[in-house]
Structure 1
Amino acid sequence: MFYWVLKHILLGPLMKLFCRPRIEGVENVPERGGAILVSNHLAVADSFFMPLMMPRRVTFLAKREYFTGTGVKGKLQKLFFTGVGQVPIDRSSGTAAQAALDTGVRLLREGKLLGIYPEGTRSPDGRLYKGKTGVARMALEANVPVIPIAMFGTDKVNPIGSRMWRPHKVLVKVGKPLDFSRYEGMAGDRFVERSITDEIMYALMELSGQEYVDVYAAKVKDEMAAKGKHVAGWRSPQERARDAERIPDSRAS
Structure 2
Amino acid sequence: MAPKIPAGFRAAAVLIKPVLLATTRREWSGMENFPDDRGFIAVSNHMTYADPFTLAHFLYDNGYAPHFMAKASLFDVPVVGRGLRGLDQVPVHRGSAKARDAVDAAVELLARGDSIAVFPEGTLTRDPDLWPMLARTGAARMALEHDVPVIPIAQWGAQQLLAPYSKKVDLFPRKTVKVVAGPPVDLEEFRGRPLDIEVLRSATDRIMANLTSMLEDIRGEQAPSQPWDMRREGGGR
- Equivalent residues in 2 for 1:170-189 (5 A)? 170-186=177-193, 188-189=195-196
Does 2:69 align with 1:61?
yes
Partner of 2:114: 112
Instruction: Name the Cα RMSD after superposition.
Output: 2.3
Are the structure 2 counterparts of residues 158 and 80 from structure 1 closer, same or farther at C-alpha, using a change threshold of 3 Å? farther
Residues 34 and 109 of structure 1 are in contact (CA less than 8 Å); yes or no, is this contact kept in structure 2? yes
Residues 133 and 193 of structure 1 are in contact (CA less than 8 Å); yes or no, is this contact kept in structure 2? yes
Structure 2: stretches of 5+ with no match in the other structure = 1-6, 217-221
**Partner Cα separation in structure 1 for residue 178 and residue 85 of structure 2:** 25
Following TM superposition, by how much is the alpha carbon of 1:215 offset from its aligned partner in structure 2, in angstroms?
4.2
Are the structure 2 counterparts of residues 144 and 77 from structure 1 closer, same or farther at C-alpha, using a change threshold of 3 Å? same
Residues 49 and 165 of structure 2 are in contact (CA less than 8 Å); yes or no, is this contact kept in structure 1? no
Does 2:103 align with 1:101?
yes
Partner of 1:233: none
**Partner Cα separation in structure 2 for residue 204 and residue 195 of structure 1:** 14
Residues 137 and 200 of structure 2 are in contact (CA less than 8 Å); yes or no, is this contact kept in structure 1? yes
Partner of 1:248: none
Structure 1: stretches of 5+ with no match in the other structure = 225-238, 243-253
Which of 75, 81, 92 aligns to 1:89? It is: 92
Residues 90 and 96 of structure 1 are in contact (CA less than 8 Å); yes or no, is this contact kept in structure 2? yes
- Equivalent residues in 2 for 1:124-163 (5 A)? 124=126, 125=128, 126-163=130-167
Which of 119, 122, 125 aligns to 1:123? It is: 125
Return the TM-score normalized by structure 1: 0.77
Q: Which moved more, 1:183-192 or 1:26-35?
A: 183-192
Residues 21 and 49 of structure 1 are in contact (CA less than 8 Å); yes or no, is this contact kept in structure 2? no
Following TM superposition, by how much is the alpha carbon of 1:166 offset from its aligned partner in structure 2, in angstroms?
1.6
Following TM superposition, by how much is the alpha carbon of 1:187 offset from its aligned partner in structure 2, in angstroms?
5.1
Q: Which moved more, 1:23-32 or 1:205-214?
A: 205-214
Q: Rg: which structure is higher?
A: 1
Between the two proteins, the alignment pairs up a number of residues equal to: 217
**Partner Cα separation in structure 2 for residue 189 and residue 160 of structure 1:** 34
- Equivalent residues in 2 for 1:35-54 (5 A)? 35-54=40-59
